[in-house]
Amino acid sequence: MGTRDGWEETDMSGTENEHEAERVEYYLEFERHLERLQQEKRPRRPRRMTPGQAKAYRMAAFFRAASPGAAEPTPEFAARLSAQLEQEISGRRRWLRALLPAPRGKQVSRRSLLTSGLSAAAGLAAGAVLGGVVEQKIASAQTSSAWQDTPLVGLGKDWLPVADVAEIVPGQMRQFRTDTIVGYVFRNDEVNDQDDGEPEPEWIAMSAACTHMGCIVAWNSNDRMLHCPCHDGAFTRYGKVADQSKNYIRSLPRMNVQVQEGKVWVQVPTPRSSSDPAQY
Amino acid sequence: MRRRNMNVAERAVGKRGSTGEYTGRNSATSKASSGGDAQAFRTLYQENLGVIYRFIYSKVGNREEAEDLTSQVFLKAVRGLDSQRGEQSIQSWLYQVARTTIADYWRAFYKVRATSLEAILEQGWEAPAEERVGLTSAHLEGRVQAILELLPPHYREVLICRFLLNLSIKETAEQMRLSEANVKVLQFRALKKAAEVSERNGDS
């Protein structure tokens, strides 16, 4: 030991003798460090160490790794990181996918729903349907009057809080995201608005997946419309197709919504494995 | 999606080193270079999560930091899969990313002068460039065993109690019939000695 220059000369007292430079505080500090390691928590390391301390701290980590089972990634971590990486991958691919032509006059295939679901998990603006939980069917012959009936298949009994009422600006969309769906909640500031002769309710929740190809529509607070990034489609704040020449596109599916205890609750599709908390 | 992720994760944890099992195609280790293919990356993840995690864990010694840094490594990998690898094998490239990540981490932590940083790296906080490929837990334990055998008995005993049996300071003191204060001194010195032994072996 000790032929090197110490990295903090001041602490070395210029001695090379094996234990001379050690102080009681070293041992106490080191023991606190070891306790943190045993708890699998980020430890506090001294910012300045003598070479001797550095050796002890380095070997502590190394010996911890040899403790049975300690240096194995937990399944939870492996799954979490895996999901994170999938998001990265799908983020890289979504632009390519957006260039694909839309399937016409057919059901959207389960596979394309799955792949767009990968993107939705990324929060990267493509595809609202996760894990094949929801299957939106686009019928081959649709009439423009069918807009309010776009069904959300897979709707379960699960109510989840998706936003705090206090966070919602009336007249503006608020996006939410659960494990099974990406959607918008909208507090209508024109409750008596007669839209197609139907009064609109105060609270509206709808899927954010464009009914054309499943890309996530984005709210523009200036023109107060939801725009699809993939094919320039647009929906009104009530989820209706804005451009009547595109009336073959269905309205955004709505979800049941209610307000309780200061939170907005939405009835969401049920995941296959239950008990997933909502993420705002 | 969820189910698929769990599969990826379970395999990554449970079947390390078993190449090619997941895809039914051949091992992606040699194939993943072609253009960051998603499936190849998944296989790469499954094959290397264990070794990279263990490598990082052996530098930081706790799950919290090991998970943070491992995530950083694989996120860097997925972003730069086809850009900076050159002629290396995927795995040694991953090790290199891991080493850089750890070095950056210490650098940020210590905010040290350049000379001090060199000292940190010299002393093996960072791995040597030719870190053995495929660091298994058996390998780690083997290296620790080899070091233990070269230590005086009381050093060996305190390290076994604290690290291999995960005893508390109190339990260790009882086991060794020493005061807790004595154990605190002993464990510090034992690890210091262990570092010297391991350097002499050209180990760490």
Distance from C-alpha of A209 to C-alpha of A102, rounded to nearest angstrom: 14
A&B contacts, CB < 8 Å: 214
Task: Write the CA distances from B106 to A42, A81, A198, A228, B198, integer angstroms.
Answer: 13, 22, 63, 44, 21
Nearest CA in chain B to A133: B1
Average pLDDT score over chain A: 70
- Contact status, residue B195 vs residue A60, Cβ threshold 8 Å: no
- Ranges A54-58, A268-272, B65-69, B119-123, most confident: B65-69
Closest partner residue to B62 (CB to CB) among A43, A55, A117 is: A43
Q: Which helix (H) or strand (E) holds B164?
A: none
Q: Which helix (H) or strand (E) holds B22?
A: none
Distance from C-alpha of A149 to C-alpha of A153, rounded to nearest angstrom: 12
A176 forms bridges with which residues in the sheet?
Answer: A183
Q: What is the DSSP string of chain A?
A: ---SPPSSHHHHTT--STTTT--HHHHHHHHHHHHHHHTT-PPP--SS--HHHHHHHHHHHHHHHHSTTTTSPPHHHHHHHHHHHHHHHHHHHHHHHHTSPPP-SSPPPHHHHHHHHHHHHTTSSS----TT-------SS--GGGGGG---TTEEEEEEEEEEGGGPPTTSEEEEE-SS-EEEEEE-S-TT-EETTEEPPSEEEEE-B-TTT-PBPEEETTTTEEE-TTT--EE-TTS-BS-GGGTTSPPPPEE-EEEETTEEEEEEEPPSS--PPPB-
* A172-224 tens-digit pLDDT: 899 988 877 889 999 988 766 666 667 788 889 998 888 877 778 888 888 88
Instruction: Quote the radius of gyration of chain B (alpha carbons, Å).
Output: 20
**What is the predicted pLDDT for the residue at B203?**
52
Q: Which residues of A touch B150 (CB under 8 A)?
A: none
- Ranges A207-216, B37-46, B162-171, most confident: B162-171
What is the three-state SS of A190-224?
A: CCCCEECCEECCCEEEEECECCCCCCECEEECCCC
Distance from C-alpha of A94 to C-alpha of A91, rounded to nearest angstrom: 6
| Backbone angles phi and psi of A15, in degrees to 5 | -105, 150
**In terms of Cα–Cα distance, which of A156, A146, A94 is closest to A253?**
A146
Q: Which residues of B touch A56 (CB under 8 A)?
A: 188-189, 191-192, 195
**What is the predicted pLDDT for the residue at B187?**
94
Residue B87 Cα, gap to closest chain A Cα (Å): 23
Residue B35 Cα, gap to closest chain A Cα (Å): 12
B164 with A117: Cβ contact below 8 A: no
Q: Is the pLDDT assigned to residue B153 strictly greater than 70?
A: yes
Residue for token digits 């194939």?
A: B31
Q: Which residues of B touch A118 (CB under 8 A)?
A: 1
Residue B7 Cα, gap to closest chain A Cα (Å): 8
For residue A194, how many other CB atoms are within 10 A of its CB? 9
For residue A144, how many other CB atoms are within 10 A of its CB? 14
Residue B85 Cα, gap to closest chain A Cα (Å): 18
B57 with A118: Cβ contact below 8 A: no
B187 with A47: Cβ contact below 8 A: no
Identity at A157, one-letter amino acid code: K
B164 with A67: Cβ contact below 8 A: yes
- Report the predicted TM-score, pTM, of the whole model to 2 decimal places: 0.50
Nearest CA in chain B to A4: B119
Closest partner residue to A117 (CB to CB) among B1, B50, B54 is: B1
**In terms of Cα–Cα distance, which of A88, A150, A147 is closest to A119?**
A88
B191 with A117: Cβ contact below 8 A: no
**What is the predicted pLDDT for the residue at B123?**
52
Measured between its terminal Cα atoms, the distance across chain B in Å is 40
**What is the predicted pLDDT for the residue at A60?**
92
Residue A249 Cα, gap to closest chain B Cα (Å): 27
- Higher pLDDT pick, A152 / A71: A71
For residue A249, how many other CB atoms are within 10 A of its CB? 25
Indicate the pLDDT class of residue B97, thresholds 50, 70 and 90. confident
Nearest CA in chain A to B196: A1
Q: Is the pLDDT assigned to residue A21 strictly greater than 90?
A: no
* A222-262 tens-digit pLDDT: 888 998 877 778 899 988 888 877 777 788 888 888 888 88
- Higher pLDDT pick, A129 / B190: B190
Question: Average pLDDT, stretch A29-39?
Answer: 92
B49 with A81: Cβ contact below 8 A: yes
**CA-angle at A218, arms to A217 and A219, nearest 5°:** 125
Q: Is the pLDDT assigned to residue B192 strictly greater than 60?
A: yes
